[in-house]
Chain A
């Protein structure tokens, strides 16, 4: 536990010691605001909720989280620091978890910095606080899924750009699998049960249900299993390829 914490702390310092962190946070906040107010038509919706804010998160994360995750393992392998890290009294799962938690916490901080949105809706109307909290929790869990995919993508290669693209493509699949235009197309070409199964794998499917303000155990299990699966996959890849 202490080992995981030490690794996590080092990674956190790594984020904030480089411009990546600040660029990420600033871009994330600007885009959140831009999409909510310009495309989401926040004011005209006449609705004191953060629905128009959260609805963009899966798309923002699609580009921003691969950027956070790409260096996680690719850089360790490129600079060969992985050899030193894994010959310390550290197990591979501890290292993977430490890095993952650092990234997740970092994104959590960025997410918390969107608090002016909450203040805005509270000022303008009388929003359902429960729904907002659920929205944040859902968004945070979604970010964890993207990040775990990023961990896996980053373990595959020594090149950060390649890691970024692999992560983006996998996440894109998970997003569009539940996107209305895709699910409609699928429903008309394959049996409904198959179409439903594919849609149920999607991030969007789960994200929508949490955005309605209900955190269902099934959704939690889904998020937890995606993260666990992706981190385990990182571990398998790193075990076989860490030396190359």
Chain B
């Protein structure tokens, strides 16, 4: 549904987006990750037609953003960063304005507005002006604006930024519920969000794509992937360290916590190999009492840091 081809954006001599190419299909929720200033928002602004790319192009549901910008914009619901909504308009007036500009009128307009209001639970604040709303409500109004025309493509720039945990949960729920027959791109720097809603993630750093894969694939790049954390009761430290280090495919063992009764160790595998059964077997064979046994999936934050810090 979205094909991005060699997108480049220069601001002066600064390469904000540097040859970005990717594709998003129907039903996918693509997480756009990257440090601040990596080029996430710039890429989104080009896709939504706010400014043109320096070179390269993108096809939005088949419409080229350069040759057919108006039709491309019709395919997209866009939530810009910080939810910029006219502060002096009422919520109802604002949503009606959006619906009108989107080409709806009469009964259909009313239906579209009502649907957006219902999905985003805005019934209570309809007559209020936007500047009297809390940040969470403002974000929801802007979200309602984006989904109002029921567009095939949603582009959301930091949709949960500045929201409290409950509101974040709500927004993620709304995104997931709508993702089925749409294609969603969302940017974030909250990594748990990628786990929670995204089917795929792209990590962008200094304007370039440095990783592209499902959250699981990305986590596999973590040195913690398939690592085993065990908590052992009343086992001498040296004995435990030596026993676990001696196992095949265990690269090293580190001590996470040490108290007189309990010892928490983490065994790291060599090259992502599976060591959990061997560790479990060793513990059983030696008759140790283990109160905790946990296989790591790998951590996105670690992968993120390793990739983007270079």
Contact = CB atoms under 8 A, between A and B. Distances in A.
Given A79-B87, A81-B84, A242 B74 contact: no
Contacts of A86: 49-50
Interface in B48-96: 48-51, 69-71, 73-74, 76, 78, 80, 82, 84-89, 93
B97 A80 contact: no
Interface string B103-146: 10000000000000000000000000000000000000010010
Contacts of B85: 81, 84
Interface stretch (A12-20, A34-42, A163-171, A174-182): A12-20
B220 interface: no
B80 A80 contact: yes
Given A10-B97, A79-B84, A81-B86, A89 B50 contact: no
Interface residues of A, number: 24
A72 B118 CA distance: 32
Nearest to A88: B101
A84 B145 contact: yes
Contact of B78 (A2, A7, A81, A87): A87
Contacts of B84: 79-84
Contacts, number: 70
Contacts of B101: 3, 6-7, 88-90
B76 A87 contact: yes
Nearest to B80: A83
Given A9-B97, A81-B85, A87-B78, 19 more contacts: A2-B103, A7-B101, A13-B93, A14-B88, A18-B88, A80-B80, A80-B84, A81-B86, A83-B45, A84-B78, A84-B142, A84-B145, A87-B48, A87-B73, A87-B76, A88-B102, A89-B71, A242-B51, A243-B50
B102 to A, nearest CB: 7
Nearest to A90: B101
Contact of B49 (A18, A80, A87): A87
Interface of B: 45, 48-51, 69-71, 73-74, 76, 78, 80, 82, 84-89, 93, 97-98, 100-103, 142, 145
Nearest to B93: A13
Nearest to B129: A17
A233 to B, nearest CB: 19
A91 B70 contact: yes
Contacts of B78: 84, 87
B223 to A, nearest CB: 39
A139 B187 CA distance: 51
A43 B100 CA distance: 51
B51 A88 contact: no
A82 B48 CA distance: 13
Given A6-B97, A17-B88, A90-B101, A80 B50 contact: no
Given A14-B86, A79-B87, A243-B50, A89 B74 contact: yes
**Most B CB within 10 A of own CB, among A7, A10, A87:** A87
A84 B95 CA distance: 13
A87 B50 contact: yes
B46 to A, nearest CB: 11
A133 B85 CA distance: 41
Nearest to B83: A84
Contacts of B69: 91
A132 B200 CA distance: 69
A242 B52 CA distance: 12
A232 to B, nearest CB: 18
Contacts of A90: 73, 101
Contacts of A87: 45, 48-50, 73, 76, 78, 80
Contacts of A6: 97, 100-101
Of all A-B residue pairs in the complex, the 10 with the closest CB atoms, nearest first, are A80-B84, A6-B100, A87-B48, A89-B73, A81-B84, A83-B80, A89-B74, A87-B78, A6-B101, A10-B97
